[in-house]
Structure 1
Amino acid sequence: MKEQLEEIIHDVYRKDKRNLFTFLTGAGISSDSGIPTYRGTDGIWVKGTQFHKPEEFGTLRYFRQHPKEVWQYSLFRKKMFETATPNQSHLELADIESMLKDRFHLITQNIDNLHRRAGNTRMYEVHGNNREIKCSNGCKGIMAMPEEIVGKDIDEDLTLKDTELLTCPNCGHWMRPNILWFDEYYDEKTNKKFSSLKVAKNSGILFIIGTSGATNLPLAIAETALKYGAYIVDINTEDNHFTELIKNKKNKLIIREKSTEVLAVVKEIIKDSNRSI
């Protein structure tokens, strides 16, 4: 595995064009931080909520019908994210960014803020994030989550103050989390759709870490990177939609090891490449 990675990374390092190092991450990279994945055997979306299937519950339509219930669940997840800490994979990616600088890009499906807390800055959060809110009725503007809104236990009700702070000051409708739900489409404002595809187009290598490729923008990112000649490195514990996409391609590497171990090797190879310049 190391020899193959060295060959690929050194090749990309020498390129003058389409030479970005891009990392696409999903929920699997945060599992070592104690955050359940979505579609793994213990995932949030496999178990669902107590009474609803996720494809029903995780929608704008359901939010409009049951905003308090969805906010209770969202604030439960907020507490889960805030009590978690970045794991070694997050820290390795922050180190890699510091070495590659503007040749580094991170595209993450995660809303948990752990990449940012680890130190990454060159990042597109294509499923939104848990730090911001916006009007569910479509008023313009994205706001920071009020500091007074705190994470809650799963059975903890919203307070009157919570309800007040989560009401749109312009139209009086509920504010909602600035995340992508199942019945919504990717856009540039919230999801950086076109920016992330542009990065993919200019990538020399795309590392795919901890994501199954079950949503269409991540798959489109991989397809775009392939189309313009990038190497694809699939780092997951199981085969997935990306594996199917790249299995017959020459410029691919499929690794079935833990991301922490692989990223440590990637970091060391990049460090050696930096020294040899």
Structure 2
Amino acid sequence: MKEQLEEIIKQVYNKKNRNLFTFLTSAGISSESGIPTYRGIDGIWIKGTKFHKPEEFGTFKYFKENPEEVWQYSLFRKKMFENASPNESHKQIVEIENLLNDKFHLITQNIDNLHRRTGSKRIYEIHGNNREIKCSNGCKGIQFLPEEIKGKEIDEDLTEKEIELLKCKECGAWMRPNILWFDEYYDEKTNKKFSSLKIAKNSGILFIVGTSGATNLPMAIAETTLKYGGTIVDINTEDNLFTELIKDKKNKIIIRETSTNTLKIINEIIKNIC
């Protein structure tokens, strides 16, 4: 595995075109920080939570009908994210970014801010993030979640002041988290759809870390990388939809080890090349 990685990394590093090193990450990379994945064996998608299941609340339709309940859960997750610490995989990716500079891009499905907290800068959050809010009625503009609104326990209600702060100043409608829900479509403003596909087109290597490929933009990113001759490196502990996509392709490496161990090897190879 190391020899394969070394060979392709050297090739891409020395290319003039389509020479980007792109990392596509999702919930699996944050699991070592104590944040549950969605679709893994112990994921939220499988087990649900005490009061909620993602298939029930993870839609714009459900938010319109139950805004306080969805905000209560969103603020519970906010507290979970804030109590989590970046793990070694996040740190390895930052080190790789600092080595590669403008040859590096990070595309993440995570909304937990752990990549940013670790120091990643060249980052595209294609599922949005939990730092920001926007009007559910479509008023323009994305804002930061007010600092007065803190993370909550799962059964802790919103206060009157919090409800006031979560209403749009323009039209009075509820503000909503600036994230992608299951009944919504990717766009450029919130989800960097076209930017991420352009990066994929110019990627010599796409490292897929801790994601199953169950949503369509990450799959399109992988398909675009393959279409333009890039190599897919699938770093996951389980087979997934990306595995199915690349199983008959020549330009692929499938690694069934933890992200931390594999990223350390990638980091070491790049250090020796730079």
Q: What's the TM-score bracket when you normalise by the shorter of the two chains?
A: over 0.9
1:121 maps to what in 2?
Answer: 121
Runs of 4+ in 1 over 6 A off after TM superposition: none
What letter is aligned with 2:199? V
- 1:1-277 pair list within 5 angstroms: 1-50=1-50, 53-274=53-274
Question: Which structure 2 residue ranges, 5 or more long, are not aligned?
Answer: none
Q: 1:82 and 1:51, CA in 2 relative to 1: closer, same or farther beyond 3 A? A: closer
- Deviation, 1:215, is 0.2
Question: Which structure 1 residue ranges, 5 or more long, are not aligned?
Answer: none
* Partner SS state of residue 8, structure 1: helix
- Deviation, 1:48, is 2.5
Give distance in 2, aligned partners of 1:220 and 1:68: 34
Give distance in 2, aligned partners of 1:30 and 1:54: 18
* Partner SS state of residue 206, structure 2: strand
Give distance in 2, aligned partners of 1:245 and 1:55: 25
Give distance in 2, aligned partners of 1:117 and 1:111: 12
Give distance in 1, aligned partners of 2:108 and 2:59: 20
- Deviation, 1:44, is 1.2
* Partner SS state of residue 90, structure 1: helix
* Partner SS state of residue 55, structure 1: helix
Deviation string, structure 1 residues 105-129 (Cα, Å, up to 9, x no partner): 0000000000000110000000000
Give distance in 1, aligned partners of 2:40 and 2:76: 20
User: Would the aligned equivalents of 2:107 and 2:123 in 1 still touch at CA under 8 Å?
Assistant: yes
Give distance in 2, aligned partners of 1:203 and 1:110: 21
* Partner SS state of residue 190, structure 1: helix
What letter is aligned with 1:44? I
- Deviation, 1:78, is 0.1
Deviation string, structure 1 residues 162-188 (Cα, Å, up to 9, x no partner): 001100000000000000000000000
TM normalised by structure 2 equals 0.99
Give distance in 2, aligned partners of 1:152 and 1:190: 25
- Deviation, 1:56, is 2.7
- Deviation, 1:79, is 0.1
* Partner SS state of residue 140, structure 1: coil
What letter is aligned with 2:172? G
* Partner SS state of residue 131, structure 1: strand
Identical pairs, percent = 77
What letter is aligned with 2:3? E
- Deviation, 1:47, is 2.0
* Partner SS state of residue 226, structure 1: helix
Q: 1:152 and 1:52, CA in 2 relative to 1: closer, same or farther beyond 3 A? A: closer
TM normalised by structure 1 equals 0.98
Give distance in 2, aligned partners of 1:97 and 1:25: 14
Give distance in 2, aligned partners of 1:122 and 1:74: 26
User: Would the aligned equivalents of 2:44 and 2:53 in 1 still touch at CA under 8 Å?
Assistant: no
What letter is aligned with 1:10? K
Give distance in 1, aligned partners of 2:201 and 2:214: 21
Count of paired positions: 274
Aligned-CA RMSD value: 0.8
Deviation string, structure 1 residues 85-105 (Cα, Å, up to 9, x no partner): 000000000000000000000
Deviation string, structure 1 residues 205-250 (Cα, Å, up to 9, x no partner): 0000000000000000000000000010000000000000000000
- Deviation, 1:144, is 0.4
